Structure 1
Amino acid sequence: MPYRLCENCSLYFEQGKAFCKLCGHPLARNALSEPAKACPRCHLLHGAVSRRCTFCGGELRALRETPAPASAVQNAPGGGRPALLPA
């Protein structure tokens, strides 16, 4: 499933979202792509160039290296719902 990218903080969100739930920046309309990395702590999805999680500071891992969480994060700050790793 393609995701929408926040070009301000490099987080990925589900297609139906219009604004980043972390920083409030409008999500890129034409940047539908797949995230490359995930945070093993909070499970937020990031782009390939990110090294640390924008939300919790965790060291990011390639999606192939990150195990799927048993229970994923339900809400980002501000009550939003970030894209999550598949269960």
Structure 2
Amino acid sequence: MNGLTPPQHAAAQAYVRLLQSVRAALADPEHAARALPLLNAPMAEADEALHRAGLAGNERHLLDLIYELPLRELPIHELPLRHPAAQGH
């Protein structure tokens, strides 16, 4: 079990879903402009989850929480090769 609270877990999952949605929407440059409105729902979900978890404006802590998610919840291609803290950022 990881050390995330339920609101933190929900926020991390919502952020990952938003990343997946953005990648899908922008995958085809010819249709990206028409796909952008489709991002309203995942952006609102992530924003609400971040606020509930007290993470709005704290991206560094959010990324730390994402790395605490069980790998089965993350598509491996969504992760940077190294944890941001290991990169000195």
Q: TM-score range with shorter-chain normalisation?
A: under 0.3
Structure with larger RCO (C-alpha < 8 A, sep 6+): 2
Structure having the larger proportion of residues in strand: 1
Please report the TM-score for the alignment, with normalisation by the length of structure 1. 0.28
In the superposition, the TM-score normalised over structure 2's length comes to 0.27
